[in-house]
Amino acid sequence: MSALSQIPARGLERDPVTGPGGRAGDGGGTPAPARRRFPRPDYWSGVGLPGLLFVIAAFAVPMVVVVVKSLTDPSPENYAAIFSSAVYQRSVWDTLRMALVVTGLCLLIGYPYAYAMARSGRAMRTFLTVALMLAFWTSLLVRTYAWQIILNDTGIVNTVLREWLGLVSEPVRLIRTPFAVYIGMVHVLMPYAVLALFAQLRSIDPDVERAARGMGARPWRVFARVTLPLSLPGAVAGGVLVFVLALGFYITPQLLGGARQIYVGQAIMQQIEQFLKPGVGAAMAVLLFAAVLAVLAVAARFVGLGRILGVGMGRRR
Amino acid sequence: MTETETGTAPTGTPPTGIAPRTGSGARVELAGIVKTYGDVRAVDDVSLTVEPGQFLTLLGASGSGKTTLLRIIAGFVEADGGRVVLDGRDISQVPVHRREIGMVFQNYALFPHLSVAANVAFPLEMRRVRRRDRAALVERALEAVQLAGYGRRSPKELSGGQQQRVALARAIVARPPLLLMDEPLGALDRRLREAMQIEIRRLSRELGLTVINVTHDQEEALTMSDRIALLAGGRLVQYGTPEELYGLPNSEVTARFLGESNLFRGPVRHEGSEAVLALPHGRILVPGDARGEGEAVVVVRPSAIRIRPAGTGPSRPAVSEMPGVVSADIYAGDSRKVLVAGADGAELVVRCESGAPLPCAVGDEVVLEWDADSCHIIPGAA
Amino acid sequence: MRAGPGVRVFACLVALVFVAPTLIVAATAVTSGSMVAFPPNGFSLRWFEEVLTDPEWLTALGNSVQVGLLAAVLAMVAGTSLAFAAARGRFLPPSLVTGLAVLPMTVPLVVAGIGFYLVYIRVGLSGSVLSLGLAHAVLGLPFVFVNVLAALTGVDRRVEEAARVSGATETVTLLRITLPLVAPAALVGGVLAFVSSWDEVVVALFLNTPQFRTLPVVMWSQVRSGVEPSISAVATLITLVSLVMAALVLLGPALLKRIRRRT
């Protein structure tokens, strides 16, 4: 144990106060610091300052500018124009209907998928998860492009129908229809619904279902009376997210939709690119964002915002 | 309640070849430390002095303020009032990183992303010790905690006991004048804890470190400490050597907290040359040195009590007596614990040697007796 | 309760629909013909070769990579910084910081695009790696923020206290102890920010100029005039990069753990 005695005694021969002083952030080697509060009450707020400045400069300011633009280019009349125009109103109703239908389809098709993912053997779950993730992480533009290839007049479906099966002589009109938009949007957004439902279904204690079975309930009744109600929060979270995302879609309707349905996202682009009315476009954008936040705020009271936004964390459309 | 000790620093028996390093530990003075959280006085006017090289234990139940007090000494918590003085220098306003204190945490708090050697080297690095000196110092510190050669491992690969040794090495490597320990052994199992107690004590003696240790474990406090500060409700209840706190408790709190004890409370009455506690049952002599009037508490340790069957006379003159009924007889290896329901309903504890036959069985009426000078009185206890 | 056979068959069919588009795009990219056809006429990599030697595509690829990296780095710095303020700041209410950091996740891309467009035009930043990188950093920031915030709540404060008592200032503790401990989480967030920038179209459309276009923007402009094997090749490349990144994030930690255990 002679090793010990070789450790130099007492702070390695340094003055305890000034010795280690003078490092970054402690104000030099002043011997006895004046009365100062420590830990500094706002040190961590200080650490957050760069991030805060960044978000304000790069995000908050642009958002405020959009609002200002909507009110001043040329005037708040922009909003009146939106509310009085039949074209805009139709666009709003079309968008709402589309978002609702897409949400409904995503939940309807996504539920059995999530259920199979949550309640199957390892091989099945792996297959379903890999397929889901493959779709989820394929770019939105690429997937929309794929549906273009499939649904084109000279696309795969029409080739099969016309050349292989000879069922039709003229190409069936699939692309540039609401139908194509629905297919594309459901394909793009369904993974969110599945992930939300899957997370919820996995969190249900299997013993609860077993207990219901043990009490003599038939499988269908167990599902209807136990599983379905318990999985509802996941459905709400996934549904709200899909709905909110669908409201602002631009790429998919633009490529797969026809000229007759102009959804809000497209209408905003149109105002800026074609009609050169950025004020009106900005006003529509403000209303869209407000609608999204309102839906999220209402939904947050039921399932919590973290739950909704946490779905498919790391991926947005 | 402050007791200023000026005695020599205890050195124990130093291993051959090492002179006791008295003087390398700091003298720590706490003066009127106060800390309130909202309406709660977490630390309430605590003052005490630790001499260089002493091992002080802050003992108390959870919520007694012992951890807050330690964190005030370390500098993590700023006191609302009072001073922390290290070797005559008021460090109350010195930030944590300049206090040059070593500290061991309950959950070890090792840096999980650094190797064992890098963990131990960290304080040296922060103190700007030259790189080539560091390796040797780290190796010596690891040797001191019997972990030589473990430097390249990751803390995650080590057992709990080994992790605590690394934490100890990190705390002492820069030879701080003061080592703080926040329930360092709480997470270890009993055998390991006892081994570590001995080792920490040996190390602190060899290095002449002043140590302030926090624990709620009275056994740990009694075996390791030169001084114990018993805290309750934020206040310093008693400060002294383990012997003083155990043998001469100054309050019911101390008597109850340290070891098993039987407490009898009542007004002191003088009967001729004797002072007795005026109780409806039994006859409890108050030790001769206490002559005060009024309320007092008599503390009797379970091992001082003898049991005899009811109806027999006292084994010797001038003993205190208390009748009761045996309610339980618990074998505990080297001793046996006998519970007796006293005449006033209170449960009394007696410790007998487990080898000797018991003169009674459960349900028997007995009389407990003890010598007047083997008990202790807390005078004027309100 | 196990899923019944009907449910499983249905799920498998849906799974096929999930992956079919991605596979079809890849198949049409490796055709040796000059038309998008399925099944493809023969196998060749000529379209990949063409794309990777075409200056327009190559410039766009370079832009995309630069924008993605800039966005990832900025998002990592800003997101981590905000996560510290949200987890520990007392001066700013944590709810305010969290709200600000998560808000970019809720904004529709069209709306965000207009905002960036209006501001960046005004300050003369339009059409550059910097402008789109800034915009994409905002969109990627929440991923970093949420990841680091979660990691921070798992960091034992006593580990930081041990560093402080060892003589480290707050800043040294932050740099030497806390940041390394949350770095993996920040990196995951950074990869996510890169991917979200990599295939983002809408905001990129707002900020593009004829001289500055990213891969998705060029693809978009070509797609609108029809389908081509060269577009399929680009689409396949974009997808491959996204999938590799996603696999890195989803499987990386588990793989790392396994490798570490072996050594």
| Residue from B97, B98, B140 whose CB has the most chain A CBs within 10 Å, to mutate | B98
Q: Is C51 within the bounds of a domain?
A: no
Q: Does the A60-310 domain belong in CATH 1.10.150.130?
A: no
3-state secondary structure at position B100: coil
Residue B279 is part of which domain span?
275-379
The pLDDT tens digits of the residues spanning A125-155 come to 999 999 999 999 999 999 999 999 899 888 8
Residues C133 and C39 in one domain: no
The number of residues in chain A equals 317
pLDDT at C176 over 90: yes
Q: What local confidence, expressed as pLDDT, does residue A279 receive?
A: 92
Q: Is B316 within the bounds of a domain?
A: yes
Residues B108 and B177 in one domain: yes
Of B60, B375, B48, B357, nearest to B231 by C-alpha is B60
A5/B206 CB distance under 8 A: yes
Residues B204 and B280 in one domain: no
Q: Structure tokens of B366?
A: 């007995």
Residues B248 and B282 in one domain: no
- Among the candidates B229, B256, B283, a domain finishes at B256
Q: Is B140 within the bounds of a domain?
A: yes
| Cβ-based contacts of C167 with chain B (< 8 Å) | 97-98, 100, 123, 126-127, 174
Per the CB < 8 A criterion, the answer to whether B300 and B264 are in contact is yes
Q: Which of C36, C78, C250 sits opposite A55 (nearest CB)?
A: C78
Residue with tokens 């990841």: C147
Residues C150 and C27 in one domain: no
What are the strands, taking DSSP E only, across chain B? Answer: 28-37, 40-50, 55-59, 81-86, 89-90, 101-104, 178-182, 210-215, 227-232, 235-240, 262-271, 274-277, 284-286, 294-300, 306-309, 319-332, 335-342, 347-353, 365-371, 375-379
Residues C74 and C100 in one domain: yes
Residues B306 and B249 in one domain: no
How many beta carbons lie within 10 A of that of residue A274, not counting itself?
A: 8
The gap between the terminal CA atoms of chain B, to the nearest Å, is 17
Give the separation between CA A3 and CA A285, rounded to whole angstroms: 73
ipTM of this complex: 0.91
B111/C164 CB distance under 8 A: no
pLDDT in tens, chain B (382 residues): 343 433 333 443 333 233 334 447 899 999 999 999 988 999 999 999 999 999 999 999 988 999 999 999 999 999 999 999 999 999 999 999 999 899 999 889 999 999 999 999 999 999 999 988 999 999 999 999 999 999 999 999 999 899 999 999 999 999 999 999 999 888 788 888 888 899 899 999 988 899 999 999 988 999 999 999 999 999 999 999 999 998 888 888 898 888 888 888 888 887 777 788 878 888 888 876 555 667 888 888 888 888 888 888 887 777 888 889 999 888 888 888 899 998 777 889 998 887 777 778 888 889 998 888 788 888 665 4
Residues B72 and B152 in one domain: yes
Q: Is C78 within the bounds of a domain?
A: yes
Residues whose CB falls within 8 Å of the CB of residue A211, separated by 6 or more in sequence, listed in order: none
Q: Assign A40 a pLDDT band (cuts: 50, 70, 90).
A: low
Give the separation between CA A52 and CA C246, rounded to whole angstroms: 28
Q: Is C146 within the bounds of a domain?
A: yes
Mind telling me how many Å the CA of B54 is from chain C's nearest CA?
A: 21
B112/C168 CB distance under 8 A: no
Residue of B nearest to A4 (CA): B144
Binding-face residues of A in 22-41 toward B, CB within 8 A = 26, 32-39
Residues C69 and C190 in one domain: yes
Residues B284 and B237 in one domain: no
Residue C236 is part of which domain span?
56-262
The gap between the terminal CA atoms of chain C, to the nearest Å, is 40
What's this model's pTM, rounded to 2 decimal places? 0.85
Residues B232 and B373 in one domain: no
Q: Assign C254 a pLDDT band (cuts: 50, 70, 90).
A: confident
Burial (CB count <10 Å: 0-12, 13-18, 19+), residue B105: buried
Angle at A173 between CA A168 and CA A176, to 5 degrees: 165
Residues C36 and C60 in one domain: no
Give the separation between CA C174 and CA B196, rounded to whole angstroms: 32
The domain that holds C96 is classified in CATH as: 1.10.3720.10
The domain that holds B326 is classified in CATH as: 2.40.50.140
Residue type, position B213, single letter: N
Domain count, chain C: 2
How many beta carbons lie within 10 A of that of residue B290, not counting itself?
A: 15
- Looking at per-residue pLDDT, the higher value among C212 and A24 belongs to C212
Per the CB < 8 A criterion, the answer to whether B204 and B211 are in contact is yes
Per the CB < 8 A criterion, the answer to whether A71 and B128 are in contact is no
The pLDDT tens digits of the residues spanning A183-229 come to 999 999 999 999 999 999 999 988 888 888 888 888 888 888 888 99
Q: Is C49 within the bounds of a domain?
A: no
Q: Is C50 within the bounds of a domain?
A: no
How many beta carbons lie within 10 A of that of residue A214, not counting itself?
A: 9
Neighbours of chain C (3+ CB pairs under 8 A): A, B
Residues B225 and B287 in one domain: no
Of B245, B159, B228, nearest to B196 by C-alpha is B159
What value does the mean pLDDT take over residues A68-88?
90
C165/B112 CB distance under 8 A: no
